[in-house]
Structure 1
Amino acid sequence: MKYAKFFPYVYLVFGALFLVDAISKYTANGEIAYPSVLLGITAIFMFFFRRKFMKKFDKRDQ
Protein backbone atom coordinates (compact mmCIF):
# COMPACT_ATOMS: atom_id res chain seq x y z
CA MET A 1 0.00 0.00 0.00
CA LYS A 2 2.88 2.33 -0.75
CA TYR A 3 0.89 4.07 -3.46
CA ALA A 4 -1.30 5.63 -0.76
CA LYS A 5 1.59 7.83 0.34
CA PHE A 6 1.99 9.31 -3.14
CA PHE A 7 -1.70 9.76 -3.89
CA PRO A 8 -2.15 13.08 -2.02
CA TYR A 9 0.47 14.62 -4.29
CA VAL A 10 -1.74 13.80 -7.26
CA TYR A 11 -4.33 16.13 -5.74
CA LEU A 12 -1.68 18.84 -5.55
CA VAL A 13 -0.70 18.37 -9.20
CA PHE A 14 -4.30 18.46 -10.39
CA GLY A 15 -4.99 21.51 -8.24
CA ALA A 16 -2.09 23.34 -9.82
CA LEU A 17 -3.22 22.31 -13.32
CA PHE A 18 -6.76 23.55 -12.75
CA LEU A 19 -5.55 26.87 -11.35
CA VAL A 20 -3.14 27.37 -14.26
CA ASP A 21 -6.02 26.61 -16.63
CA ALA A 22 -8.20 29.21 -14.89
CA ILE A 23 -5.44 31.83 -15.03
CA SER A 24 -4.76 31.18 -18.71
CA LYS A 25 -8.46 31.46 -19.56
CA TYR A 26 -8.69 34.69 -17.59
CA THR A 27 -5.70 36.26 -19.35
CA ALA A 28 -6.83 35.12 -22.80
CA ASN A 29 -10.55 35.96 -22.66
CA GLY A 30 -11.00 38.04 -19.54
CA GLU A 31 -13.60 35.63 -18.19
CA ILE A 32 -13.29 33.79 -14.91
CA ALA A 33 -13.46 30.01 -15.26
CA TYR A 34 -15.34 29.21 -12.06
CA PRO A 35 -15.32 25.41 -12.49
CA SER A 36 -11.54 25.37 -12.89
CA VAL A 37 -11.05 27.64 -9.88
CA LEU A 38 -13.43 25.56 -7.76
CA LEU A 39 -11.81 22.27 -8.75
CA GLY A 40 -8.32 23.67 -8.19
CA ILE A 41 -9.13 24.94 -4.70
CA THR A 42 -10.92 21.69 -3.84
CA ALA A 43 -7.98 19.58 -4.99
CA ILE A 44 -5.51 21.63 -2.94
CA PHE A 45 -7.80 21.37 0.08
CA MET A 46 -7.98 17.59 -0.40
CA PHE A 47 -4.18 17.42 -0.45
CA PHE A 48 -3.91 19.00 2.98
CA PHE A 49 -6.92 17.07 4.31
CA ARG A 50 -5.60 13.68 3.21
CA ARG A 51 -2.09 14.46 4.45
CA LYS A 52 -3.41 15.44 7.89
CA PHE A 53 -5.48 12.31 8.30
CA MET A 54 -2.72 10.07 6.96
CA LYS A 55 -0.42 11.39 9.68
CA LYS A 56 -3.18 10.91 12.25
CA PHE A 57 -3.70 7.27 11.27
CA ASP A 58 0.05 6.62 11.18
CA LYS A 59 0.35 7.87 14.76
CA ARG A 60 -2.53 5.67 15.85
CA ASP A 61 -0.95 2.54 14.32
CA GLN A 62 2.35 2.98 16.15
Structure 2
Amino acid sequence: MKLLNFFQYVYLIFAILFIVDGFYSLGSDGSRAIISFIFAGLAIFMFFFRRRFKKKFENRKDS
Protein backbone atom coordinates (compact mmCIF):
# COMPACT_ATOMS: atom_id res chain seq x y z
CA MET A 1 0.00 0.00 0.00
CA LYS A 2 2.94 2.32 0.56
CA LEU A 3 3.87 1.94 -3.10
CA LEU A 4 0.51 3.36 -4.14
CA ASN A 5 1.07 6.28 -1.79
CA PHE A 6 4.37 6.97 -3.56
CA PHE A 7 2.80 6.88 -7.03
CA GLN A 8 0.24 9.41 -5.89
CA TYR A 9 2.99 12.02 -5.71
CA VAL A 10 4.55 10.95 -9.01
CA TYR A 11 1.54 12.55 -10.69
CA LEU A 12 2.47 15.88 -9.11
CA ILE A 13 6.06 15.55 -10.32
CA PHE A 14 4.82 14.90 -13.85
CA ALA A 15 2.47 17.88 -13.60
CA ILE A 16 5.36 20.16 -12.65
CA LEU A 17 7.46 18.81 -15.52
CA PHE A 18 4.64 19.34 -18.02
CA ILE A 19 4.03 22.89 -16.76
CA VAL A 20 7.72 23.76 -17.10
CA ASP A 21 7.79 22.22 -20.58
CA GLY A 22 4.68 24.18 -21.49
CA PHE A 23 6.23 27.48 -20.48
CA TYR A 24 9.46 26.72 -22.35
CA SER A 25 7.64 25.80 -25.53
CA LEU A 26 5.11 28.63 -25.27
CA GLY A 27 7.23 31.03 -27.32
CA SER A 28 8.28 28.65 -30.07
CA ASP A 29 5.43 26.20 -30.58
CA GLY A 30 1.99 27.09 -29.25
CA SER A 31 0.32 23.76 -29.96
CA ARG A 32 2.96 21.83 -28.03
CA ALA A 33 2.50 24.20 -25.08
CA ILE A 34 -1.25 23.61 -25.08
CA ILE A 35 -0.76 19.85 -25.09
CA SER A 36 1.72 20.11 -22.22
CA PHE A 37 -0.73 22.18 -20.18
CA ILE A 38 -3.52 19.68 -20.88
CA PHE A 39 -1.30 16.82 -19.68
CA ALA A 40 -0.39 18.84 -16.58
CA GLY A 41 -4.07 19.37 -15.81
CA LEU A 42 -4.72 15.66 -16.32
CA ALA A 43 -1.87 14.75 -13.98
CA ILE A 44 -3.18 17.09 -11.28
CA PHE A 45 -6.66 15.62 -11.71
CA MET A 46 -5.24 12.10 -11.36
CA PHE A 47 -3.41 13.11 -8.17
CA PHE A 48 -6.59 14.28 -6.50
CA PHE A 49 -8.63 11.37 -7.88
CA ARG A 50 -6.16 8.78 -6.56
CA ARG A 51 -5.99 10.57 -3.20
CA ARG A 52 -9.77 10.58 -2.85
CA PHE A 53 -10.04 6.95 -3.96
CA LYS A 54 -7.37 5.91 -1.43
CA LYS A 55 -9.27 7.63 1.40
CA LYS A 56 -12.51 5.94 0.37
CA PHE A 57 -10.77 2.57 0.27
CA GLU A 58 -9.24 3.08 3.76
CA ASN A 59 -12.59 4.17 5.23
CA ARG A 60 -14.29 1.14 3.70
CA LYS A 61 -11.60 -1.19 5.05
CA ASP A 62 -11.90 0.27 8.58
CA SER A 63 -15.68 -0.25 8.68
With the length of structure 2 as denominator, give the TM-score of the two structures.
Answer: 0.85
Distance, in Å, in 2 between the alignment partners of 1:4 and 1:18 is 22
**How many residues are aligned here?**
61
Gaps of 5+ in 2: none
Asked if residue 17 in structure 1 is aligned to residue 32 in structure 2, the reply is no
In structure 2, what is the Cα distance between the partners aligned to 1:57 and 1:30? 42
Report % sequence identity. Answer: 48
Question: Which residue does the alignment assign to 1:29?
Answer: 28
Find out whether 1:61 has 2:61 as its counterpart: yes
Structure 1 unaligned residues grouped into runs of 5+: none
TM-score by length of 1: 0.86
In the other structure, the counterpart of 2:42 is 42
